[in-house]
């Protein structure tokens, strides 16, 4: 943890999406094995990494398994999941694309048709903890998009799968759940096996092996984004509460030893207070898995002015941006690159992880410069129908043929000219 300036950040920020050669080669072997050997290879990796007593039959869970898991959780668990479901569902219903059509001045008719993807695979991490919230965040927009077949894979830990995760799948109406994780799960979705149905696109965060599998299999299967470690950037002023800021930092740091946390302010005295608070909490708190993240990936950034702050924020393009001030239209104009932006001291990022309604599957590692958080449109695709007749052909045939010949494509030009236009 150190206090740095804008120039240091601009010069030293490094990507976490680069994969080591050993991870890359391991994933390649797993993919090839599953492509060639199907269920036999799937079972081999499940036994190796998750459950030594697994059978191919118990990898595929039934609807009754999900119902039993739901019935086993507490009333409080059910109420929390249902509240989260309601808010996430409401937010995402505002996103569904609708088909439309129009006619231009040449009587050309265009029909833009939005349709859901047929089969999607959702990856739910399960190595370090269980994540029922990720079930909600991925399956709800898929269902709103009306995807016919929503499949989910989740690793078991020593043969045990979180009932809370399975209960979330039950609440969301997931069509099929598989007990399998890691690169092997992505490979199985990409190629399909006798037990695991092939998906057209996969979604959801995972470890470096999952991210690498998604990268290697892109093209064979669609992917959302390769996810890196979690991130938060906190923008604070001299009157901000340093204790609250420290907890905002720790809330991201506990995700992953490589989680990145930033605090930026024009007040150096505030940054010093935040540093002291973080150090105290790390030493005395019962919060686990934060030491390495804080030591190696926590940066307190001293900015000269508001312009500096905006430049830093847009350069980092954080997964989560928390602004400890009141909302102003100035923010809409100046904050360009971020996954989700939380405005106000009473709007901690953790609300967005669970019950705010917005999606917590977000772009990391500066990918917010070209990507958005997960939404309904990610589970859909559009097809354009073009209806043209004599009027259209008469007006645009000559320039079409001209441009085709300029590009050396004679058959293109002739395919237009061969059609007779009614006068």
Q: What does the domain layout of the chain look like in residue ranges?
A: 2-16+229-356, 21-96+118-223, 388-417
Query: Is residue 383 packed enough to be buried (19+ CB in 10 Å), middle (13-18) or exposed (0-12)?
Result: exposed
Going by C-beta distance under 8 Å and a sequence separation of 6 or more, which residues neighbour residue 179? 46, 50, 51, 54, 58, 59, 60, 61, 153, 154, 155, 156, 161
The chain-wide mean pLDDT, for the chain, equals 93
pLDDT higher than threshold 60 for residue 423: no
Check if the beta carbon of residue 288 is closer than 8 Å to that of residue 257: no
CA angle 285, 290, 294 (to 5 degrees): 110
Helix (H, G, I), strand (E, B) or coil at 314: helix
Please confirm, yes or no, whether 320 is among the known catalytic residues.
yes
Going by C-beta distance under 8 Å and a sequence separation of 6 or more, which residues neighbour residue 262? 9, 231, 232, 233, 234, 298, 299, 300, 301, 316, 318
Q: What is the pLDDT of residues 40-64, one digit of tens each?
A: 999 999 999 988 888 898 899 999 9
Going by C-beta distance under 8 Å and a sequence separation of 6 or more, which residues neighbour residue 96? 144, 145, 376
> So what CATH class is 2-16+229-356?
alpha beta
Return the structure tokens found at 419.
């059609």
pTM of the model: 0.92
| Beta strand residue intervals within 117-178, DSSP E | 119-123, 149-153, 176-178
Distance CA 184, CA 205 (A): 14
Query: Is residue 237 packed enough to be buried (19+ CB in 10 Å), middle (13-18) or exposed (0-12)?
Result: middle
Among the listed ranges 73-77, 80-84, 291-295, which one has the minimum average pLDDT value? 291-295
Mean per-residue pLDDT for 67-89?
A: 97
**DSSP codes, 391-410:** HHHHHHHHHHHHHHHHTT-H
Distance CA 263, CA 195 (A): 47
Q: What is the pLDDT of residues 162-187, one digit of tens each?
A: 999 999 999 999 999 999 999 999 99
Q: Please give the CATH architecture assigned to the domain spanning 21-96+118-223.
A: 3-Layer(aba) Sandwich (3.40)
Task: Tell me the helix, strand and coil percentages in the chain, rounded to 5.
Answer: 50, 15, 35
- Looking at 319, 324, 337, 360, which residue is catalytic? 319
| pLDDT at 189 (0 to 100) | 98
Check if the beta carbon of residue 399 is closer than 8 Å to that of residue 383: no
pLDDT class of 284 with cuts at 50, 70, 90: confident
- Looking at 320, 322, 324, 360, which residue is catalytic? 320
Q: Which residue has the higher pLDDT, 16 or 381?
A: 381
For residue 76, the surrounding DSSP H or E stretch is helix 75-93
pLDDT higher than threshold 80 for residue 218: yes
Please confirm, yes or no, whether 319 is among the known catalytic residues.
yes
pLDDT class of 16 with cuts at 50, 70, 90: low
Q: What is the pLDDT of residues 106-122, one digit of tens each?
A: 999 999 999 999 999 99
Mean per-residue pLDDT for 260-289?
A: 91
Mean per-residue pLDDT for 141-169?
A: 94
């Amino acid at each position: 943890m150190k206090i740095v300036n804008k120039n240091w950040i601009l010069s030293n920020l490094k990507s976490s999406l680069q994969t080591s050669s050993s991870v890359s080669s391991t994933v390649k072997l797993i993919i090839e094995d599953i492509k060639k050997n199907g269920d036999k290879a799937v079972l081999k990796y499940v036994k190796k990494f998750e459950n030594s007593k697994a059978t191919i039959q118990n990898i595929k869970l039934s609807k009754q398994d999900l119902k039993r898991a739901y019935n086993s959780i507490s009333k409080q668990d059910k109420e929390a999941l249902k509240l989260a479901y309601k808010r996430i569902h409401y937010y995402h219903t505002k996103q569904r694309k609708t088909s439309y059509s129009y006619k231009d001045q040449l009587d050309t008719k265009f029909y833009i048709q939005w349709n859901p993807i047929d089969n999607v695979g959702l990856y739910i991490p399960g190595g370090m903890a269980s994540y029922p919230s990720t079930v909600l965040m991925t399956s709800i927009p898929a269902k709103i998009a009306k995807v016919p077949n929503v499949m989910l894979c989740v690793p078991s830990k020593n043969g045990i799968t979180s009932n809370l995760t399975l209960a979330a799948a039950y609440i969301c109406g997931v069509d099929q759940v598989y007990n399998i994780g890691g690169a092997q799960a992505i490979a199985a979705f990409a190629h399909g096996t006798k037990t695991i149905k092939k998906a057209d696109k996969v979604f959801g965060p995972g470890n470096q092996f999952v991210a690498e599998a998604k990268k290697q299999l892109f093209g064979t299967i669609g992917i959302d984004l390769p996810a890196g470690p979690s991130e938060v950037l906190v923008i604070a002023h001299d009157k901000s509460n340093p204790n609250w800021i420290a907890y905002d930092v720790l809330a991201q740091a506990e995700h992953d030893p490589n989680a990145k946390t930033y605090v930026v302010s024009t007040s150096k005295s505030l940054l010093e207070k935040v540093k002291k608070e973080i150090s105290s909490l790390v030493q005395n708190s019962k919060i686990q898995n934060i030491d390495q993240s804080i030591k190696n990936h926590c940066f307190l950034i001293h900015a000269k002015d508001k312009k500096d702050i905006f430049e830093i924020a847009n350069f980092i393009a954080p997964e989560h941006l928390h602004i400890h001030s009141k909302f102003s239209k100035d923010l809409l104009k100046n904050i360009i690159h971020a996954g989700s932006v939380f405005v106000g001291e009473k709007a901690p990022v953790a609300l967005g992880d669970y019950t705010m309604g917005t999606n917590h599957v977000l772009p990391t590692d500066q990918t917010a410069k070209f990507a958005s958080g997960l939404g309904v449109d990610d589970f859909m695709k559009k097809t354009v129908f073009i209806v043209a007749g004599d009027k259209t052909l008469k007006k645009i045939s000559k320039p079409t043929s001209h441009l085709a010949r300029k590009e050396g494509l004679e058959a293109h030009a002739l395919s237009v000219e061969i059609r007779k236009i009614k006068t």
